[in-house]
Amino acid sequence: MDEHLDWYPGRSVLVTGGLGFIGSNLALTLDALGARVTIVDSSIPGLGANRFNVEGLSDRSQVAAVDLRDTAALAPLLAGQDCIFNLAGQASHIDSMTDPLADLDLNGRAQLCLLEAVRASGLRPRVIFASTRQVYGRPERLPATEDHPVRPTDINGIHKQAAEHYHRLFHEVYEVPTVVLRLANVYGPRQLMRGRGQGFIPIFVRTAMEDGTLSLFGGGHQERDANYVDDVVDAFLRCGPPTGAAPGSTYNLGAEPPFTLRSFAKTLVAIAGAGTLANVEWPADRALIDVGSVSTDHSSITADLGWKPTWSLADGLEATVAYYRLHGRHYW
């Protein structure tokens, strides 16, 4: 067992957004390590919460149907927690532009409510926040490092940036030990495969598996990088123990080499054995907030915590397609 994993058996850990994609994978891993996991999830429709995601959770752990904005209901759940993995929120960039006030509530106010509840409790569990590299906007240089200028191109990115500042401030002023992870594109089992708010990967995976046409905006020449969800879970786990990331730290995740969306689609179609590619014009609403080519430098978290991606894109897509062939009915 890796040293950072030795800390978790017997610990009490809270996972916000724990019925969603990354949160459920993290919660199941923590449960398997012997932690007492409390999942907090408001289960707002369309955001990815799915009780099937945590089938097999042991009796040692629990699911609480609580909205982070309900601080009275949240407060008792904080007692005795050694660590909080904060993955609650909504991820849709398009939805944030069509309903910015809802995004503010879910990605701004909810985060502030959680941190205020922690401050008011007098407890100081470590809080690890799931942010996004979308905060960089259209990059000036690639791969983007953590000191890259932060200029989001959409409302979601702005609110994620604000939430990062909330976490930093509560560390600096109230001594709540917080850590921020800026995630790249994350994919794998337990991700919602419908709707437009989950990113391009689940749309492409489902379309290919249904032998549909994968639409490549502008020809699909823009570059991205991506992490299989198991690697992302490992990054969170490395940040949890007191001997892990220094409070106040911000880290990029990511992978190399980057790929074009066209090459990604070709790899996926070959693995799925179905699907076709088509070049399409950029939809106007997406073109306005597109960030172009983007990839991030993860050398800081590698140097400090020993994290690095271990899943290749091909292996990750093989595992992803295999999972949805078995369980797709729960996600379509």
Q: Domain ranges for the chain, please list them.
A: 3-192+227-255+296-311
Pick the CATH number of 3-192+227-255+296-311 from 3.40.50.280, 3.40.50.300, 3.20.20.70, 3.40.50.720: 3.40.50.720
Please answer whether residues 235 and 299 qualify as being in contact, where contact means their C-beta atoms are separated by less than 8 angstroms: no
- Give the pLDDT of residue 285: 78
Give long-range contacts, CB 8 A cutoff, 24+ apart: 267-271.
Answer: 267/313, 267/314, 267/317, 268/204, 268/205, 268/208, 268/214, 268/317, 268/321, 269/208, 269/214, 271/314, 271/317, 271/318, 271/321
The model carries a pTM of 0.96
Given its phi and psi angles, is residue 42 left (phi above 0), alpha (psi -120 to 50 degrees) or beta?
alpha
pLDDT tens digits, 68-86: 999 999 999 999 999 999 9
How far apart are alpha carbons 69 and 73 in whole angstroms?
Answer: 9
What is the torsional sign of CA 109, 110, 115, 116?
A: positive
The burial class, CB within 10 Å (0-12 / 13-18 / 19+), for 45 is exposed
pLDDT band at residue 196 using 50, 70 and 90 as cut-offs? low
Average pLDDT score over the chain: 96
pLDDT tens digits, 105-150: 999 999 999 999 999 999 999 999 999 999 999 999 999 999 999 9
pLDDT band at residue 179 using 50, 70 and 90 as cut-offs? very high
State the average pLDDT over residues 47-69. 97
Which of 56, 68, 51, 6 lies closest to 33, judged by CA? 6
